[in-house]
Structure 1
């Protein structure tokens, strides 16, 4: 069915976060939800609530005592789906803080700063492979391999030869409505388990993997399952999310050529442009919580045990927080977007993601001009809790 077939009744009563129609028409649909029913209840998958306004989403994210991650971060999914036990996403404070502190120390600005030169080299190596052709599938040839190559090399010290396989597992694991998803969840966990075994044998490198392997959790050694779950978070957060932002940014550059032209002329604006791109097209679009007790959101009663999906993607385009919210505007007086989430579970890799996006966009607009989406291209998105274009076929003039 066409996107227009998403009716008001569907939004208010039958909202399905796994719907391909929502994936295609996400932002207009969320805008209608904010306007008509900002806290709606869906009868899909046994029932759940949807929060779409900035103020409500921020409150839910910060109130972990009432809206728990440990009790569930997804709504009941289709039969056969297996929820990923990723840490520390699926636990609450105070234990969550122990795991997050363990990871945070390895992704501070001071820690990742020395990775800039190597990151830029990876970006240019990928561009070198397609720039003379004047065309490429931007997702396949740049947006998807780049964050993985950088993350495998600089953060995980994992073999680059494994990246294509792991990228596939990570992408499929994010799509619970795809039959292959459950199998890829298990295969990703299996790869991580084998990788951790190899790292134990190789000796210390002083990186985040060493920190996970040697961690003590509440006075005891970290378990094997906890170590796998923690590295699983790093893999899922370090690969597909950055790829999705890059893909959406290229679509925007094709549709609004004045943006790359401005950034090419004034590269000092790129950090601010990254923030606006994250606000408009952040790929981490939503996540769930489960109510510990009876409570309310904006006057709507939420019962104990009921689930709520909060939409970062909607909050970041809320008219009450961002004037002219659908516009790319580098002159916003403030941009308090929550593309990386909010509250205790805010993304630990935000500094790394910002650096990767800044360097990638800098080199892309410097070396390539006149971006055009190929004629007849029908860009589709995979979209559940993360959203990314499946393919972005472009042509361009070499810079």
Structure 2
């Protein structure tokens, strides 16, 4: 007798499990750095879309928050009216150098993006898949026999970091832990360690790229950056550091957060991993649907360059504007039954990698990493649950991920003998 096929569309429990922030907070005091928002994001952003797809917050000196899909896409695509050159954070982060190419506007932005794009095409990253799979298995081997792990520290953070360091930029593995820590702290502007971590990240990248410039070429993206010419002149050290800084931030923090949010959802709704184990051919599309529901790249800032109207709201030149990708991804105007997980969704133009000229250059690498990680996790780890008594808290700011995610599962065998 054949087993019944599980339904593809699975209603999300996340939005119903939390209470939205008060309407007055949504209307006038929206704060993307609030831990309360991190804890209640699906419900709060649903209320924002219902009441104020475009709202004016009085926090952080005043800024606009754009939560509807059409409005977010319009702002992201209109780089001439909404500039990235004045920073991606609200309040502005205390950067040592600007992140390139995302903190530049076309045509300057295109020059830097052309340096890195060839190294992150689907054809460029797919040959790394089996080495990436070996990394995933190595990490799973370290805890599979115990039947439990702290998923963020034991898999979600080291997995993309190791893959990025070893395969993309050929950086020393022994530096990974401190660089990942600095990247995480740097992404929250009001964190007391933020400025120190920006400075530490700057120093590490400066020393790393200087060493690579003097070393024999490795044929990777770092070589392309350190030996580049910009408009007929040698690239400056500040430009080198800014470009590699963006690669590091994108390669470490956001993919780790996406993995943590995916496992968080698996714990909340075991029917999703059950479906994907039964139908593994759905994993590539499922990973994109999971990214739509729970993106780790939550929001980004722009600055209005002229008086302009968005969603019926008049903005003035110089106004700061926060595009909320995570909210736009749940807009029912674009995504029918938006709170449900549906790996067969016919049209999934999610904004988890951004949109417009600044769309994430590393999206192909991220998709490959997530696909491989899910394949190995679903194959080797069964009955995944949140550890008894665990309460998940979320990193806040422009990115979102579980701070910790203690899980249990059925113990399994190692693939390689313990040394």
Q: What is the TM-score normalised by the length of structure 1?
A: 0.97
1:17-49 per-position Cα deviation (integer Å, ceiling 9, x unaligned):
111111111111111000001110011111000
1:225-269 per-position Cα deviation (integer Å, ceiling 9, x unaligned):
110000000000001100001000001111111111111121111
* Alignment: residue pair count: 395
1:322 matched to 2:335? yes
From 264, 268, 272, the equivalent of 1:255 is 268
Q: What is the TM-score normalised by the length of structure 2?
A: 0.92
| Structure 2 partner of 1:168 | 181
From 22, 26, 29, the equivalent of 1:14 is 29
DSSP-derived class of the 2:145 partner: helix
1:193 matched to 2:201? no
1:271 matched to 2:284? yes
Give the Cα–Cα distance (whole angstroms) in 2 for the partners of residues 383 and 377 of structure 1: 19
Unmatched tracts of structure 1, length 5 or more: none
| Structure 1 partner of 2:109 | 96
Over the aligned positions, Cα root-mean-square deviation in angstroms equals 1.3
Alignment of 1:15-34 (within 5 A): 15-34=30-49
| 8 Å CA contact 1:148, 1:238 repeated in 2 | yes
Give the Cα–Cα distance (whole angstroms) in 1 for the partners of residues 161 and 143 of structure 2: 18
Return 363-372 or 64-73, whichever deviates more: 64-73
| 8 Å CA contact 1:367, 1:398 repeated in 2 | no
Report the CA distance between 1:75 and its aligned residue: 2.5
Structure 1 segments (4+ residues) deviating >4 Å: 80-84
Return 259-268 or 141-150, whichever deviates more: 259-268
| Structure 1 partner of 2:91 | 76
| Structure 2 partner of 1:361 | 374
Give the Cα–Cα distance (whole angstroms) in 1 for the partners of residues 215 and 86 of structure 2: 37
Report the CA distance between 1:298 and its aligned residue: 1.3
DSSP-derived class of the 1:383 partner: coil
| Structure 1 partner of 2:61 | 46
Give the Cα–Cα distance (whole angstroms) in 2 for the partners of residues 303 and 349 of structure 1: 33
Unmatched tracts of structure 2, length 5 or more: 1-17, 413-419
Return 256-265 or 304-313, whichever deviates more: 256-265
Report the CA distance between 1:152 and its aligned residue: 0.2
| 8 Å CA contact 1:84, 1:185 repeated in 2 | no
Compared CA separation, residues 264 and 398, structure 1 to 2 (3 A): farther
Give the Cα–Cα distance (whole angstroms) in 1 for the partners of residues 82 and 213 of structure 2: 37
Report the CA distance between 1:82 and its aligned residue: 4.4
1:108 matched to 2:121? yes
Alignment of 1:1-399 (within 5 A): 4=19, 6-77=21-92, 81-82=94-95, 85-398=98-411
